[in-house]
């Protein structure tokens, strides 16, 4: 059963300190703005995906895709901010979307699944790291117990990054890995 919406003063609701924008410089010198996704960002999603190589899309969606589906774009444009959150990274000069990370609560409301994608030309520039840190910060503020994601075993860059962020990696079969970050020090959490 889903919990009811918290009052607007709750720390992780839109408009609170966690919602503030962050400005960062990537390793390649790119200036980025990281902020909560907004419904009007939907126009930028399709262009964003067109700037991601087919192999990187396969690693993210576990299948060969050519573009973002209407269903996926609709989910990103209509987030339920009680159970879903997404942060976008935008080029400060052009406003182009450079990356996106999403977090969605599971039914237990203690666990959330993340998904992340960055423009291929920015892999290795630290953008994925910044987006993951942002979503982990959000999950902690929301008092979640754990964050997880499913990753293809051949997605070595993602597996290395999450290991460095403290995620535990387990083999779940069929070439997939489950990566889990416990957010509470209690091992039973």
Domain boundaries, the chain: 17-145
Q: Is the dihedral of CA 112, 187, 159, 154 positive or negative?
A: negative
pLDDT score recorded for residue 63: 61
pLDDT score recorded for residue 70: 72
Burial 98-130 (b: 16+ CB within 10 A, else e): bbbbbbbbeeebebbebebbbbeebeebbbbbb
CA 41, 98, 140 angle in degrees (round to 5)? 80
Domain 17-145 belongs to what topology? Answer: Aminopeptidase (3.40.630)
User: For the whole model, what pTM was predicted?
Assistant: 0.81
Query: In the chain, which residues have pLDDT < 50?
Result: 1-17, 19, 189
Residue 182's Cβ-count burial label (10 Å; 0-12, 13-18, 19+) is: middle
The answer to whether 74 touches 43, Cβ cutoff 8 Å, is no
CA distances from 18 to 36, 50, 110 (A): 9, 30, 19
pLDDT score recorded for residue 69: 66
Query: Roughly what angle, to the nearest 10 degrees, separates helices 127-141 and 156-164?
Result: 50
Burial 34-70 (b: 16+ CB within 10 A, else e): bbbbeeebeebbeebbeebeeebbebbbeeeeeebee
């Amino acid at each position: 059963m889903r919990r009811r919406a918290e009052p607007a003063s709750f720390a992780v609701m839109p408009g609170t300190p966690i919602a503030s924008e962050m400005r960062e410089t990537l390793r390649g010198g790119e200036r980025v703005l990281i902020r909560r996704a907004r419904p009007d960002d939907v126009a930028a999603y399709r262009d964003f995906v067109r700037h991601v190589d087919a192999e990187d899309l396969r690693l993210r969606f576990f299948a060969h895709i050519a573009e973002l589906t209407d269903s996926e774009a609709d989910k990103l444009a209509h987030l339920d901010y009680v159970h879903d959150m997404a942060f976008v990274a935008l080029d400060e000069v052009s406003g182009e979307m450079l990356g996106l990370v999403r977090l969605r609560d599971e039914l237990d409301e203690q666990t959330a699944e993340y998904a992340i994608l960055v423009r291929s030309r920015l892999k290795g520039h630290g953008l994925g790291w910044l987006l993951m840190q942002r979503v982990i910060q959000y999950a902690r503020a929301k008092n979640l117990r754990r964050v997880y994601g499913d990753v293809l075993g051949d997605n070595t860059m993602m597996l290395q990054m999450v290991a460095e962020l403290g995620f535990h990696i387990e083999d779940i079969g069929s070439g997939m890995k489950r990566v889990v970050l416990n957010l509470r020090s209690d091992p039973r959490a």
